[in-house]
Amino acid sequence: MAIRYYYIDDDPKSTITETAKGLSIHPEELIVTAFQHKEWDKQISFIIENQQNFDGLLLDWTLNQKSEEGADANFNVEALAQQLRRHIIDNDKIKKDFPIVICSADYRFQDIFSKETSGHDLFDLVFEKDEFDTDQEKIILQLKDLAEGYKSISTHKSIKEIFGIENLEELDYRVLDYMENQIGQPTHEIARFMLTKIVKSNGILIDEYLLAARLGADILNIDENSVQEWHKLMGIISETQFRGVFSNAWPKWWMHKVDEFWTNTFENSLGNLNAPQRIEMLNEQFGLHLKPAPILEKASSSDFWVVCKKTHTPLAMNDAILATSDVNSSPWEEDEYYSIETALEEDPKNIHILEKERVKKLKAEHTKIRPR
């Protein structure tokens, strides 16, 4: 059965209907229905009365135009989301939990919203409307998987089901401790934790870029044949892939299982090998034709273990520049890094204080002196 979202916006009906159509190109998977906003009381009542007809809400960030029916939005979407979450927690007028997603036509919206910390607990995903065209398939998958994840959490409320594991001992004890205290909370709180602290960050799970870096493979500068070789390797290590909630739209891999795969296959440690050595061993063992990731111009080592947060290029620890830490990060989340090339151009506020002197020296070293 298709996942259904209600999309509420203040743009003309014709505009928002076209946006909804663009997100509904696979109606067997996702159907988005567009509505212009109503006044506060009517808007709340409309959502309550129709709660069985949708699986999630997509809201425009600024509702400041009159609807074609003459309704003024005498509220902001934060207030709306907060009121809906309150009804969900009270379990009075709204009997189920569902994702709330926001979007905006402002091309700076992602950056603006990242600084608006008050709304981060209310919304599950944030999009700029241009992305509905440029990343259409990805967003459709994310909206679908988000709602399906909510349903799974609501149905099971089981740590094993949420993480897709059979043995709780596989979990980092800090994550397990948190989840044991969280499991009785509303679905949207569990979903937010899973998305922000587990699925969309690198820690106990790693994304494809970090996986490739630690296996030594080049996945950024490759042809179709190399893509196929990489996919073959993904099949070989499929047992290491995360199968919990939100894993369809945000594929991740268990780092401890990747380590176990390597140790069981080669009887040595990934961290003791450079990229060419890792790739040579994988190619010989499995008959593959993978290529090792190259060393960046300003780097010196192929002992890749992290990636640049902007370019996703593999980096050895001694070539990585530590990024400013998120004060809200959890202890199991990995630090983020920049390549030297990126750090030299990056806003200084994004460079960790412990790295500022190092970056200053690197700038002096790599700045060419122009002849007078």
Encode pLDDT of 128-144 as tens digits: 999 999 999 999 999 99
Encode pLDDT of 98-112 as tens digits: 999 999 888 777 777
Element holding 363 (H helix, E strand): helix 356-366
Q: Which has the minimum average pLDDT: 97-106, 265-274, 362-371?
A: 362-371
Kindly tell me if the per-residue pLDDT of 285 is higher than 80: yes
Mean pLDDT in residue range 187-204 = 96
Task: Identify the pLDDT of residue 108.
Answer: 76
Tokens 């944030």 locate to: 126
Tokens 């919203």 locate to: 113
Which two tokens mark 93? Answer: 């007028």
DSSP 323: B
Mean pLDDT in residue range 18-27 = 98
- Complete DSSP assignment for 291-345: -BPPPPTT-----EEEEBTTT--EEEGGGEEEBPPPTT--TTSPP-EEEHHHHHH
Task: Identify the pLDDT of residue 110.
Answer: 75
Burial class from Cβ neighbours inside 10 Å (0-12, 13-18, 19+) for residue 372 reads exposed
Which domains are assigned to the chain? 3-154 (3.40.50.2300), 156-199 (no CATH), 205-366 (no CATH)
Cβ atoms of 213 and 278 within 8 Å: the answer is: no
- Complete DSSP assignment for 77-117: HHHHHHHHHHHHHHTSS--S---EEEEES-TTHHHHHHH-G
Alpha-carbon span 197 to 370, nearest angstrom: 47
Task: Identify the pLDDT of residue 118.
Answer: 62
Mean pLDDT in residue range 45-68 = 94
Task: Identify the pLDDT of residue 370.
Answer: 46
Alpha-carbon span 294 to 304, nearest angstrom: 10
Task: Identify the pLDDT of residue 116.
Answer: 67
Give the N- to C-terminal CA distance of the chain in Å, as an integer. 71
Looking at every residue in the chain, the average pLDDT score rounds to 94
Task: Identify the pLDDT of residue 115.
Answer: 65
Contacts of 312 (CB under 8 A, 6+ apart): 209, 220
Encode pLDDT of 289-325 as tens digits: 999 999 999 999 999 999 999 999 999 999 999 999 8
Cβ atoms of 176 and 168 within 8 Å: the answer is: yes
Task: Identify the pLDDT of residue 367.
Answer: 75
Task: Identify the pLDDT of residue 117.
Answer: 59
